Amino acid sequence: MVFEEAPIKGIWIITPRVFCDERGYFMESYLRESFARHIGPIEFVQENESLSRFGVTRGLHYQEDPHAQSKYIRVVEGEIFDVAVDIRRESPTLGQAFCLNLSSENKKQLFIPKGFAHGFCVLSPVAVVQYKTDAFYHPGSEGVFHVSSPDLAIPWPLSDGEMILSEKDKQACPFRL
């Protein structure tokens, strides 16, 4: 696995080694020892999976302390435009977004630490997204910022008219610096 730290400290792009032949492919999608060496020790406690169609846009979701979550995201089928926004109040990169296309073709994976809001939009006909978290989901600690928050200026590859949002995400407040 290749670990590359993103321009925003704490975010890591992980690219697994993929072994292909006429039968298909094999890859290791997670290695605890490699994570510990590059990111530090982490214990994932939950794994989630979503299936979404083109245009579905989820986020920007986060969990408040003490239930904040780190996430390890990968795409099993299709392609997404993935976004992590730094919401750590004392961070020099507060309000900055890191964006990356994740797909079943490029096999890139993203580690997002606690203190970030996360979202994505689906660019393929369907996308299956899996992600691990190091804390359990806690409904009372959930927060959401609107995906089109002007202070964030996220370069979404879809227009507002193409985005399909849940009612909760449509009603979300904008992020303010």
User: 61, 72, 118, 146: which is the annotated catalytic residue?
Assistant: 61
User: In Å, how far from its chain's centre is CA 103?
Assistant: 12
**DSSP-based three-state secondary structure for 8:** coil
Q: Which two tokens stand for residue 169?
A: 């995400």
- Active-site pick, 67, 131, 138, 146: 131
H helices within the chain, ranges in order? 32-38, 167-170
- Is 131 catalytic? The answer is yes
Q: What is the sign of the dihedral through the CA atoms of 98, 115, 121 and 163?
A: negative
Q: Which of 103, 100, 123 is nearest to 13 (CA)?
A: 100
The DSSP symbol for 6 reads: -
DSSP label at residue 126: E
137 is catalytic: no
Nearest to 97 by CA among 112, 80, 113, 85: 85
Q: Cα–Cα distance between 170 and 52 in angstroms, integer? A: 17
**Catalytic residue IDs:** 61, 131
